């Protein structure tokens, strides 16, 4: 364990900046920017290649109405980009772009950004939340993934148990193997059907839409699911044919065929998960494949041992102990490598969901190893007892002449055979904790790795530091029929220093209103500063100034004097917070 910890320390200390989930690297236009003219398209750049959906972009105008846009496509820069063409004419105001793509490791990634044309408006569409999954689809998909992991562990583990441990009777294992095979076929079919709704974050019934299954079949995850189904059906057809002809293949041929099917079957998982993207992809896929096979040999073999425990022999238990030890060794080596690749730094171990889930899995694996140690101790003690009981007593030759030899000493008492119930309890504990480990493994494969989460945070940091605008809306009323409305005033940015001021006047019907004069001042009474005239000018539909200095932070009083005619005007005020 110390060697593994040192190796993990070395690897995490020399981590390279790469990820397995796609992280947003740049946007054009930038998030939160104000443009003088409307852009023709929106382009996103990611840290790795992404797949596009039929509904990858949703663009909303300042009134929260969805715009009709062109189809999503890759920019000429390559598959790590996503682009959508906007309508030819965009009105003044703030637009929201919600996007959703599929990263190279088959997991959907989504987000949102805003940009403004002319000036910002307060009537912006709410950005899409980070969790844009359909709860029913996500739950069904994750349950099917967990069942698939459980079924493949039982299927391959039982095969390894029969081939290596050679139990006296295999009839009790026939029903679990058939159940695992059918469960794997069913869960794989469900994953294929739900793949399109899972990627799009829509209802499970979305698969009924025309072309949904056909589009899934053209994607890499869909093709791998179909390959898994083909392998299972091929193996099932071969087994049924041999059973119908009542023939049994030689043991070596059976082992070769089983290995030839197990390896590509495991690849249908690893080639579609985290190992398929990021750094060192060939090595990562090989490591993940060995990890999956070792997990299946240990946990699936454990279930087979538990099923045949009352009818098995001590030799079978001893062979499984050696198989479990070899599997644990492979799991530790590949697990250390995959942890380094997924985390990238020690900080990600506690600061990311992936790291915290990995800690929970390590705790469960530790409990699993403790239970396995109890089983191995029982096996070692039982082997010593058997060796002592079967050892023949030493024969002492009788002398031809002379006095007789003293009587032979009694043989040492045989070691008591360890109680069988102890082994049963430890194996049962291993199996129970193994189910928890499989659940945490399923959760890990659907969680953004620590590398990607850290890189996404670094990418978003500059955007988060961009000063935000301050939008203040002040209603006014002249006391005459139709003489009311509101003034929407934007300070961009809303902090100390040079800023721009934009103001829009809305009439009683909520539409834009043209007024002959508008004056805006700011006063900081706590410091006896002001009133400071912003000197906004008419820009044809709205009033603005590109340069105005706010000297100090604090709560300022903003006054707006609105003249709607030669005789009618009103002055209204509202507090506005200016940040440092």
Do 547 and 437 belong together in one domain? no
- Count Cβ atoms below 10 Å from residue 126 Cβ, excluding itself: 10
Q: How confident is the model at residue 421 (pLDDT cuts 50, 70, 90)?
A: low
Residues 322, 426, single domain; the answer is yes
Query: 170 with 80: CB under 8 angstroms?
Result: no
Whether 128 is in a domain gets the answer yes
Buried b or exposed e, range 304-336, using 16+ CB within 10 angstroms: bbebbbeebeeebbbbbbebbeebbebbbbbbb
Same domain? 308 vs 430: yes
Question: Can you tell me the distance from the alpha carbon of 476 to that of 573, in angstroms, rounded to the nearest whole number?
Answer: 9
Q: Which segments of 86-219 are extended strands (E)?
A: 93-103, 108-117
DSSP state string for 508-542: TTSSB---SEEEEEEEEGGGTEEEEE---EE-SSS
What mean pLDDT is predicted for residues 498-513?
Answer: 82
Q: Which of 280-289, 408-417, 442-451, 489-498 has the lowest mean pLDDT?
A: 408-417
Chain-centroid distance of CA 401 in Å reads 87
- How many Å apart are CA 200 and CA 197, to the nearest integer? 5
Distance of CA 386 to the CA centre of its chain: 50
Is 382 found in the same domain as 474? no
Instruction: Answer whether residue 260 is part of any domain.
Output: yes
What is the maximum alpha-carbon separation in the chain?
149
pTM over 0.85, yes/no: no
Query: CA separation (Å) from 437 to 297, 362, 365, 430?
Result: 14, 9, 7, 10
Q: Is the peptide bond before 530 cis (omega within 30 degrees of 0)?
A: no
Task: Answer positive or negative: Cα dihedral of 164, 167, 168, 170.
Answer: negative
Judgement on whether residues 240 and 289 belong to the same structural domain of the protein: yes
- The model's pLDDT over 93-105, given as tens digits with 9 standing for 90+, comes to 888 888 888 887 7
pLDDT digits (tens, 9 = 90+) for 145-191: 889 988 998 999 888 888 888 888 888 888 888 999 999 999 999 99
Is pLDDT at 444 greater than 80 in this prediction? Answer: no
Position 197 confidence tier, pLDDT thresholds 50, 70, 90: confident
Can you say whether residue 291 is alpha, beta or left, with left for phi > 0 and alpha for psi between -120 and 50 degrees?
alpha
Dump pLDDT digits (tens) for 380-391.
Answer: 676 566 555 555
The reply to whether 525 falls in a domain is: yes
Give the pLDDT confidence score for residue 415 in this predicted structure: 45
Specify whether 233 is located in the same domain as 91: no
pLDDT, mean over the chain: 78
Query: 3-state DSSP: the chain helix, strand, coil percent, rounded to 5?
Result: 50, 20, 30
pLDDT reported for residue 1: 36
H/E run at residue 344: none
Distance CA 336, CA 7 (A): 8
Q: For residue 545, give its domain range.
A: 470-578
Specify the pLDDT at position 342. 72
464 within a domain of the structure (yes/no) = no
Taking the CA atoms of 448, 454, 458 and 463 in sequence, report the sign of the dihedral they define.
positive
328 and 444 share a domain? yes
Q: How many domains does the chain have?
A: 3
Please name which of 49, 51, 47, 108 lies closest in space to residue 78, comparing C-alpha atoms: 49
């Amino acid at each position: 364990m110390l060697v593994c910890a040192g190796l993990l320390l070395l690897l995490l200390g020399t981590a390279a900046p790469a990820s397995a989930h796609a992280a947003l690297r740049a946007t054009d236009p930038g998030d939160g920017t104000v443009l003088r003219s409307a852009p023709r398209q929106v382009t996103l750049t990611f840290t790795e290649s992404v797949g596009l959906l039929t509904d990858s972009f949703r663009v909303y105008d300042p009134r929260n109405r969805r715009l009709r846009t062109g189809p999503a496509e890759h920019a000429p820069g390559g598959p790590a980009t996503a682009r959508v063409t906007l309508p030819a004419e965009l009105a003044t105001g703030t637009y929201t772009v919600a996007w959703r793509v599929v990263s190279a490791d088959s997991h959907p990634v989504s987000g949102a950004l805003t940009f403004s044309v002319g000036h910002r408006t307060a009537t912006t569409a709410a950005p899409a939340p980070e969790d844009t999954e359909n709860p029913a689809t996500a739950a069904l998909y994750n349950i099917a993934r967990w069942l698939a992991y459980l079924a493949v562990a039982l299927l391959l583990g039982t095969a390894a148990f029969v081939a290596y441990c050679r139990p006296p009777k295999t009839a009790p294992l026939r029903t679990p193997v058939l159940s695992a095979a059918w469960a794997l076929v069913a869960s794989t079919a469900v994953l294929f059907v739900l793949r399109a709704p899972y990627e799009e974050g829509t209802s499970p019934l979305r698969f009924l839409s025309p072309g949904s299954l056909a589009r899934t079949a053209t994607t890499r995850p869909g093709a791998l699911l179909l390959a898994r189904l083909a392998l299972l059906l091929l193996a099932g057809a071969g087994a049924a044919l041999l059973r119908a002809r009542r023939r049994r293949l030689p043991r070596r041929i059976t082992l070769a065929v089983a290995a030839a099917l197990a390896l590509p079957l495991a690849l249908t998982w690893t080639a579609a998960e985290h190992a398929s993207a990021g750094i060192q992809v060939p090595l990562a896929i090989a490591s993940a494949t060995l990890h999956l096979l070792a997990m299946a040999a240990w946990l699936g073999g454990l279930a087979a041992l538990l099923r045949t425990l009352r009818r098995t022999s001590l030799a079978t238990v001893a062979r499984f102990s050696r198989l479990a030890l070899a599997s644990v060794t492979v799991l530790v080596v590949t697990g250390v490598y995959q942890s380094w690749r997924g985390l990238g730094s020690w900080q990600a171990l506690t600061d990311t969901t992936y790291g915290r889930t990995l800690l929970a899995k390590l705790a469960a694996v530790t409990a699993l190893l403790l239970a396995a140690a109890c089983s191995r101790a029982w096996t070692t003690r039982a082997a010593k007892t058997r060796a002592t009981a079967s050892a023949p007593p030493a024969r002492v030759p009788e002398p031809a002449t002379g006095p007789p030899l003293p009587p032979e000493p009694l043989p040492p008492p045989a070691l008591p055979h360890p109680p069988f119930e102890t082994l049963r309890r430890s194996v049962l504990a291993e199996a129970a904790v193994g189910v928890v480990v499989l659940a945490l493994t399923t959760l890990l494969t659907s969680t953004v790795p620590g590398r990607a989460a850290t890189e996404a945070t670094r990418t978003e940091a500059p955007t988060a530091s961009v000063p935000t605008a301050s939008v203040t809306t002040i209603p006014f009323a002249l006391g005459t029929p139709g003489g009311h409305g509101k003034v929407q005033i934007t300070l961009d940015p809303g902090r100390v220093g040079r800023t721009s001021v934009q103001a829009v006047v809305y009439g009683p019907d909520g539409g834009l209103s043209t007024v002959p004069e508008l004056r805006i001042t700011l006063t900081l009474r706590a410091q006896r500063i002001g009133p400071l005239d912003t000197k906004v000018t008419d820009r044809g539909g709205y009033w603005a100034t590109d340069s105005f200095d706010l000297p100090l932070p604090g709560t300022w009083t903003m006054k707006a004097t609105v003249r709607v005619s030669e005789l009618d005007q009103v002055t209204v005020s509202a507090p506005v917070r200016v940040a440092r």
